[in-house]
Structure 1
Amino acid sequence: MSADFEVHHFTYGPLTPALAYGLSVLGSFLGLHFTTRALAAAERRERIWWLVGGSIALGGTAIWVMHFVGMLGFSVSGASLAYEVPLTLFSALLAVVFVGAGLFLVGFGMPVPLGGLLAGAGVVAMHYTGMAAMNVGAETSYDPLLVAASVVIALAAATAAFFFATRVKGWLSTLGAALVMGVAVSGMHYTGMFALNVHATAPGPVDGADPVHLLVPLTGIVSVVTAVLCGFVGGSAGPGERRREAEFVEGLERELGTGY
Structure 2
Amino acid sequence: MEPLLGQLLQPKYSFVLIFLSYIISFFGSLLALQCTKWMFRKDGTLDREVAICAAIALGGIGIWSMHFIGMQAYRLPVPITYDLVLTVISLIAAIVISGIALYMTGRGGKFKVRGWLAGSLLAGLGVCVMHYMGMYAMDLSAVMTLNPVTVGLSVVIAIVAAAAALWLAFNLTKLSHHIIAALVMGLAVCSMHYVGMSAASMICVAEKSSTAWKISGDDLGLWVFGVASIALLYIFWVVMGRNIANPALQSSA
Bin for the TM-score computed over the shorter chain: 0.7 to 0.9
Residue number in structure 2 paired with 1:251:
none
Q: Which residue of 2 aligns with 1:252?
A: none
Matches of 2:37 and 2:207, distance apart in 1: 50
Compute the displacement of 1:221 (Å): 3.0
Following superposition of structure 1 onto structure 2, how do residues 170-185 of structure 1 map, counting pairs within 5 Å?
Answer: 170-185=174-189
Residue 82 of structure 1: aligned partner: 81
- Counterparts of residues 10-159 of structure 1 (less than 5 Å): 10=13, 12=14, 14-39=15-40, 41-43=41-43, 47-77=47-77, 79-109=78-108, 110=112, 111-159=115-163
- C-alpha distance in 2 between matches for 1:34 and 1:113: 21
Contact 1:21/1:186 (<8 A) preserved = yes
Aligned counterparts of 1:221 and 1:244: Cα–Cα separation in 2: 29
Contact 1:136–1:206 (CA under 8 A) maintained in structure 2: no
Q: Is the 8 A contact 2:105 2:119 kept in 1?
A: yes
8 Å CA contact 2:141–2:204 kept in 1: the answer is no
CA apart distance, 1:114 = 1.1
In structure 1, what is the Cα distance between the partners aligned to 2:25 and 2:88? 18
CA contact (8 A) 1:137 1:206 kept: no
Unpaired runs of 5+ residues, structure 1, are: 249-260
Q: Percent identity?
A: 32
What's 2:170 paired with?
Answer: 166
Q: Deviations over 1:177-212 (max 9, x none)?
A: 000000000000000001110013335476432144
Q: Which amino acid aligns with 2:57?
A: A
TM-score by length of 2: 0.86
Q: CA RMSD in A?
A: 2.3
Over 3 Å counting, the alpha-carbon distance change for 1:204 and 1:117 in structure 2 is closer
Alpha-carbon distance in 2 for matches of 1:201, 1:47: 51
- Consecutive unaligned residues of structure 2, counting only runs of 5 or more, are 1-5
State the one-letter code of the partner of 2:24: L
TM-score by length of 1: 0.84
C-alpha separation in 2, matches of 1:43 and 1:53? 20
AA at the equivalent of 1:198 = M
- Deviation, 1:226, is 1.4
1:153-172, CA deviations, whole angstroms, 9 ceiling, x for partnerless residues? Answer: 11110111010011112100
Change (3 A) 1:60 1:70: same
1:36 Cα offset (Å): 2.2
The one of 215, 222, 229 equivalent to 2:228 is: 222
Compared CA separation, residues 196 and 3, structure 1 to 2 (3 A): farther
| Greater mean alpha carbon deviation, residues 232-241 or residues 157-166 | 232-241
Task: Give the secondary structure class of the aligned counterpart of 2:123.
Answer: helix
> 1:257 maps to what in 2?
none
**Cα offsets for 1:55-109 (capped at 9, x unmatched):** 01000000000011111211112x2201011110110011001111111112215
**Contact 1:51–1:107 (CA under 8 A) maintained in structure 2:** no
Aligned residue-pair number: 241
- Give me the whole-angstrom Cα distance separating, in 1, the residues matched to 2:180 and 2:202: 37
Report if the CA contact (8 A) 2:72-2:220 is conserved.
no
The residue that corresponds to 2:194 in the other structure is 190
27-36 or 231-240: which moved more? 231-240
